[in-house]
Amino acid sequence: MNIFDRFPYIVIEGPIGSGKSTLASMLADRFQAHLLSEKAEVNPFLPRFYQDAQRYALSTQLFFLFQRSGQIGELNQRDMFYKPTVADFFLEKDPIFARLNLDDEEYALYHQIYTHLQLKSPKPDLVIYLQTPIDGLMERIEERNISYEQDIPREYLERLSDAYSEYFHLYDASPLLIVNNEKLNIIKDPEALNLLVDRISQIKSSREYFNPNFE
């Protein structure tokens, strides 16, 4: 079954290191879907943010916001159902990072811009949230060996992970599949992707959970 027949626009979400970009790319390749990727590597402020978060948080956040809104705008301009789409971000969760990293005045400015741009964002047909333990996030960040990510404090990942959990605990704007990502390694285990695709095809309600156990 082609999961995009049921869910033409799928969003993959999760904290840094959860594997959302990898999963989105693999689903796009497997089902010949259009890939919408945030391309974090083109943000010139991101490496500086991880060195001095207080100084570069606003510029980093606004770059991502305008980048993402531009990509969503392109999606809106073409018929998004002409070709199924999978994305590794969506605008609705963007304030998670902003609230964590900006002071009150910066956040007020950011939120004013965000509120305007959010109106252009289409509603996903399915959101997949990759819920990953902190140790797993740190291990995967180390394995992918991006230089400016190697010094991300564990405390920051804990705060970020908690913010994601809180956000998706309340999220009900689209059907949601919460995936326990601790043992689901789609890079090292080809069967993992098959199991996830099969689970997606079985979704029947607006909120479901997937806890794969490979032991």
**46 and 60 Cβ atoms separated by less than 8 Å:** yes
Q: 34-87: per-residue pLDDT in tens?
A: 999 988 889 999 999 988 988 999 999 999 999 988 888 777 665 555 789 999
Q: How far is CA 97 from the centre of its chain?
A: 12
175 belongs to a structural domain? yes
Please tell me the distance from the alpha carbon of residue 88 to that of residue 41, in angstroms, as a whole number.
Answer: 14
43 belongs to a structural domain? yes
What single-letter DSSP state applies at residue 33?
Answer: P
Structural domain containing residue 164 = 3-210
215 belongs to a structural domain? no
Quote the tokens at residue 35.
């890939």
108 belongs to a structural domain? yes
50 belongs to a structural domain? yes
> How many structural domains is the chain composed of?
1
What residues are paired with 126 via a beta bridge? 10
Q: 178-201: per-residue pLDDT in tens?
A: 999 888 888 778 788 999 999 999
pLDDT interval class at 214 (50, 70, 90): low
Q: 79-115: per-residue pLDDT in tens?
A: 555 789 999 998 888 899 899 999 999 999 999 998 8
18 belongs to a structural domain? yes
Q: 156-179: per-residue pLDDT in tens?
A: 999 999 999 999 999 999 999 999
Tokens 């689209």 locate to 174
Catalytic residue from among 88, 104, 162, 189: 88
The percent of the chain in helix, strand and coil, each rounded to the nearest 5, is 55, 10, 35
CATH code: domain of residue 181: 3.40.50.300
172 classed as catalytic: no
154 belongs to a structural domain? yes
Report the sign of the C-alpha dihedral through residues 118, 10, 97, 46, in that order: negative
42 belongs to a structural domain? yes
How buried is residue 67: exposed, middle or buried, by Cβ count under 10 Å (0-12/13-18/19+)?
A: middle
Please tell me the distance from the alpha carbon of residue 104 to that of residue 77, in angstroms, as a whole number.
Answer: 34
Parallel, antiparallel or unpaired: strands 34-36 and 176-180: unpaired
Q: How far is CA 151 from the centre of its chain?
A: 21
